A and B are shown apart, each in its own frame.
Chain A
Amino acid sequence: MGAKPADAYDSRPVNDATRPCVRWVAALALWLLFSSCLVAAEPAVRFEKDVLPIFAARCLSCHGAEKQRGDLDLRTEESTLQGGNSGPAVAWGSLGNGRLWSYIVVDKMPPAPPKVEDAKAAKGKAKAPSHGLTATEKDVIRAWILRGKGNWLPSTATAGTEAKPRGVEATARIIDERIDRKLSEAGLKAAPLADDATFLRRAYLDITGSIPTRAEASTFLDSKDPNKRRALIDRLVASDRFGENLGDLWHNALMPRTNNLALPPDTRPLRKWLAEQIQRDQPWNEIVRALITATGTKEENPAVLFYLINGNADGSVSPTTLTVTGMRAFLGLRMECAQCHDHPSDGWKQEDFWGFAAFFRQTFYRAPPQKSPNEKPPPMLQETPLKNQNPKVAAVPISIGVPDGALHNVGKGMPARFLGNKDPVQGRNDDLPRNLLAQWIGAADNPYLSTATVNRIWGHMFGHGLVNPVDSFRQDSSPFDPALLRLLAQEFMASGYDFRHLARCIGHSEAYQRDSRPFAANQAENPHFGRMRVKVLAPEALLRTMTNAIEVTEDEFLPADPVIQEKRLAMTQVSRYQRFLKLFRDESPEPDPTRYPHGIPQAMALMNQKATNQAGPMLERLCQQYDQPRDVIENLFLAILSRRPNPKEAQRYLEHVRQQPTLLDGYNDVVWILFNRSEFILVP
């Protein structure tokens, strides 16, 4: 073990001279992976089909059924990955980190054939190949390792601005074709389309974050228009509520994972700002640019709140938290690990983390100097331009020191860098570093932003991303279908980072309309988008749904707290509104929209809240409008569940209502039951 040439490929620490080489092999590999995402799908290298035959011919005699030299068994992909005595044989996507490649590349394996004891026997066989693999064989192994479990990562070369969008219908068809192909590969069938009522509620909740009014529901259900589903998607996507809903989604994505602040600022203005940007059709890369380069007071520019909520406890800007949150939200990358040490499995280096953080180096949140003794200017977010210390050199370096607490490189200055690019970013005199970062993220040739974004929106609508968790692209991620991911990213870019276009593409697909019920030919835990996944209402959607169902405002709906309590909560900026959201927020480390996260406190809130016990004015209006209990019940169903009762239900509820002392008592029971049904809090 450990012949000289192999050292450069070793994963253990080596001297500084060889280290950068290892690092760049890894980083480039990832970049290449990202890159290939935007080029046409290449036939993927498969272990059984492509790699195993090579192993069988050249390796299995020592690492197969009979012998497992060094405890390494190359007969299956799994056993190969597992490796042998000297550790993992293959690190997905990384040529530098696995033993296998390091031995193959220097022809250490397969070894020269042993001195043949029986020369005659050897003569009889075909001429044994000499030691080492052929260049073609090596290419196959190389491609297999670099493929990881699938390519998802994009490229600078092809992410062209000139590309024209394919259009909604064409993209929707491609979505269906790709999914159908995957289904048949997995031996699964697609479910039939969901019924109108299910589709209606799903489309409203996913796109607007709320449910239809009674009138909207009955109009849609009664319409005979064969094109009504597409028309509904288009209408909802065009509405302002689409912007509001996505505003919520991105607002939550921009919150730090762990809050360092004793008194976090009220971020509702940021939520509203995001909604307005999307409503005004501002392209997402422009919105991201505005967030990253925000300046001013939080009152005049709500985007500043992104910095404050991701700031330090003392109110100062936190490059680290911004990097962690920003990379997750915008790029779909989790690089927290690389803050303190190189990422153990993903090829990310501390240089990558701090290279991103360095761009925030010149940004401060502080009050401008006082001009008069009486005036107290509010603190502002501002960025100091780069200043050239040495007039002879045009470039100004940007760097940040690794703080105490990191495992390695404490105190070392790390230069600003763009991911996947090994050269430090050099500014010029008067440049603002954040501008450089924002330009890179939002550029038409940046593959990360579009890929991560389409995956998040897909995950929002299907309850499951093409890559999961939706904000965690890794080298060993196996996207559902890399080609589909690439294609959607291209389409999103070509459309000008247009959320409405993207939501229509997905919403017009058949896959989005499918029923969620498991059936014989698709009971799989992973239904491959052949069935819709059942989602749990997000807290914001739950609040809107409840208030819209009983036709009240949020203020009327949310129970007031006793005065003292309210005062205390106001102090910590936890309003009634935020309290409701917090109660229903999935606070587990890895939230999953298809998992029911609630327990007794949430059940009690649904059961005992005033709103679910007395429908109030809405019910009064219904009683005035309709004489027949049957009609009132039907309208309660429409208002709360967006559908009409089936005949059995109608009968059962009617009987119950009639048995109560007053009709109103009966109706209130119906309201309570409808609010407390799984059907209410789930999106089937």
Chain B
Amino acid sequence: MAHQPVCSRRDFLKLATAGVLGGTAGSPAAALADELVRTGTGGKTPSCLLIWMPGGVNQGFTWDPKEQYNHCRRIDTSVPGIGISEFMPNVARQMHHLALLRGMDTREANHRPAIDLMSTGFRRFSPTLTYPSLGCLAAAEIGDSQNELPNFVVIGAMGRGDDPGDYRNQLTLPGFLGSKHAPFVLHDATREPDNFRPGSSLQTLKSRMALLEEDERQFQQARGTVAAEAHWSAHQRALRLLDSVKARAFSIDQEPLPVRESYGEHRFGKACLLARRLLEHGVPIVQVDLGGWDDHTEQTKPRVLAADSALGALLLDLHQRSLLATTLVVIWSEMGRHPKSRGNHYGTAWTTVLAGAGIKAGIAVGRTNDDGLEVKDRPVTAPEFFATIHRALRIDAAPRSAVVNGRAVEILDRGAKPIDEVLA
């Protein structure tokens, strides 16, 4: 079940730059590291913010309104020539940061298979092989094993249970990567993680850990088991997190009131605010889940308004804190909605959104025809969408595969090309 590489890019860069890999100038390792440092975002490995809106967001109410249906008006944005729904005035003001992919053509209009496809880039063709969801794969590829904070945090704002078997939570499954790359899941942005406070005091905890260390050392000497080492390492990482000033990242109370208000006093707003705090403190991959889009009705409007306030504030905030340039933002769902026919599931012409690191800002790639039923220009398939994300995160330098049950498994659909039009 080994997944290659064992060493993530972040680790690799660290090791290479520290000379651990024998990286004297001119060595292949140093050259590769140099090459990696030179390209893209000023040498900093990009972070990744995933805004996942499962259920099938109606593109007609959001990114690609068609006025002929009278769902909503199309309003101007900060980018001349690109208009979006009147329910998204805040996002419209940030359009110059975004790239719309209006030609999504994924041909899958059932939740479960569509979620499989849009969370992993693969159709689930085999009951014996589960592909990792995007965030888990990114965590394995660009995470930092020395990070005080978890490498992948999911902030649930789905209003659903936390059963990992629920297909709506598919997006948090590490698949063949194994639990090591499973996310740290928070169900409520306003509550800190479970067991996040020392049972007594931090000082007591530290002194107990010091005593425990001696016992652990003796036990490991006597028993020499890998399991004991793993146990102690997890404890140390937990203490490092609890003891770190970065632990405050989990607390949105620390934010000034006006900031909290700008994101919106709803679950989604709070989740987005927490996401920004986590990115800022060094969590490389953060995902916010906003579910409930499977409603087939006009109830979509209030949800779009809530999403708009949070997303508008988030994009502005990320930009003002210079985080946007180093963070790839992905806003997507598993499918869209039929422009007519009472908003039924539709996978043939819909929209996803990218922004930030590695992405050309202020553009709309692809076009649907006037009735919104077909892609007229630049259709994008699911594998192309994933190839673009891999490229923006720079995890596609070499063809990668993992070995699962003795069989080589590609981590990206073979031959899938990134969408060059959208890459910076």
Contact = CB atoms under 8 A, between A and B. Distances in A.
Interface of A: 258-264, 324, 334, 336-337, 339-340, 407, 516-518, 534, 536, 562, 565, 568-569, 571-574, 579, 582, 586-590, 594-610, 612-614, 649, 652, 656, 668-669, 672-673, 676-679, 681-682, 684
Contacts of A587: 164, 179, 182
Interface in B164-180: 164-168, 174-176, 178-180
Contact of B199 (A260, A337, A610, A682): A610
Given A258-B127, A259-B166, A599-B179, 12 more contacts: A334-B128, A337-B126, A337-B128, A572-B166, A579-B162, A588-B1, A600-B237, A604-B238, A606-B235, A613-B200, A672-B208, A678-B223
B239 to A, nearest CB: 8
A569 B239 CA distance: 29
Contacts of B163: 259, 264, 572, 574
Contacts of B191: 562, 565
B198 interface: yes
Contact of B165 (A258, A612, A681): A258
Of residues A534, A594, A605, A614, which shows the largest number of chain B Cβ atoms within 10 Å of its Cβ?
Answer: A534
- Sorted nearest first, the 3 A-B pairs with minimum C-beta distance are A259-B165, A572-B161, A613-B199
Interface residues of B, number: 66
A576 to B, nearest CB: 11
B406 to A, nearest CB: 9
Given A600-B237, A607-B195, A569 B165 contact: no
B216 A678 contact: yes
Contacts of B175: 589
17 contacts: A261-B165, A337-B128, A518-B224, A574-B163, A586-B179, A587-B179, A588-B174, A588-B180, A589-B178, A596-B230, A600-B237, A604-B194, A604-B195, A668-B200, A677-B215, A678-B228, A682-B227
Given A596-B231, A681-B231, A608 B184 contact: no
A682 B225 contact: yes
Contacts of B187: 565
Contact of A517 (B176, B182, B224, B242): B224
A566 to B, nearest CB: 12
B234 A602 contact: yes
A600 B234 contact: yes
Given A534-B227, A572-B163, A608-B199, A678 B194 contact: no
B212 interface: yes
Nearest to B407: A344
B150 interface: yes
B223 A534 contact: yes
A607 B1 contact: no
B235 A607 contact: yes
Contacts of B207: 669
B32 interface: no
Given A589-B178, A608-B196, A516 B162 contact: no
B44 interface: no
B246 to A, nearest CB: 13
Contacts of A669: 204, 207-208, 211
A602 B199 CA distance: 14
Given A587-B179, A607-B238, A340 B162 contact: no
Given A517-B222, A534-B225, A682-B225, A565 B188 contact: yes
Contact of A600 (B125, B165, B184, B215): B184
Contacts of A603: 234-235, 237-238
A612 to B, nearest CB: 7
Given A608-B199, A612-B199, A656-B211, A569 B161 contact: yes
B227 A678 contact: yes
Nearest to B228: A678
B202 to A, nearest CB: 10
B14 interface: no
B160 interface: yes
Contacts of A589: 1, 130, 175-176, 178, 404
B199 A609 contact: yes
A651 to B, nearest CB: 12
Of residues A614, A668, A679, which shows the largest number of chain B Cβ atoms within 10 Å of its Cβ?
Answer: A679
Contacts of B165: 258-261, 264
Nearest to B242: A604
B221 to A, nearest CB: 10
A590 B222 CA distance: 29
B5 interface: no
Nearest to A649: B215
Contacts of B128: 334, 336-337
B226 interface: yes
B234 A594 contact: no
B212 A673 contact: yes
Contacts of A573: 161
B342 interface: no
B193 A536 contact: no
Interface string B270-286: 00000000000000000
A468 to B, nearest CB: 12
Contact of B126 (A340, A518, A610, A677): A340
Interface in B130-186: 130, 150, 159-168, 174-176, 178-180, 182, 184
Contacts of B167: 260, 262
Nearest to A604: B195
A516 B241 contact: no
Contacts of B200: 613, 668
Interface in B379-424: 404-405
Given A600-B237, A613-B199, A677 B219 contact: yes
A2 to B, nearest CB: 27
Given A604-B194, A684-B223, A677 B216 contact: yes
A597 B231 CA distance: 9
A367 to B, nearest CB: 25
A332 B372 CA distance: 51
Contacts of A676: 208, 212, 235
Contacts of B219: 677-679
Contacts of A516: 223, 225
A526 to B, nearest CB: 14
A324 B179 contact: no
Given A516-B225, A565-B188, A682 B127 contact: no
Contacts of A534: 223, 225, 227-228
A601 B184 contact: yes
B227 A594 contact: yes
Nearest to A568: B161
Nearest to B148: A600
Contacts of B197: 608
Nearest to B238: A603
Contacts of A582: 162, 164
B127 A337 contact: yes
A598 B126 contact: no
Of residues A340, A571, A673, which shows the largest number of chain B Cβ atoms within 10 Å of its Cβ?
Answer: A673
Nearest to B212: A673
B205 interface: yes
B179 A536 contact: no
A681 B223 CA distance: 14
A565 B164 CA distance: 17
Contacts of A652: 214
A340 to B, nearest CB: 7
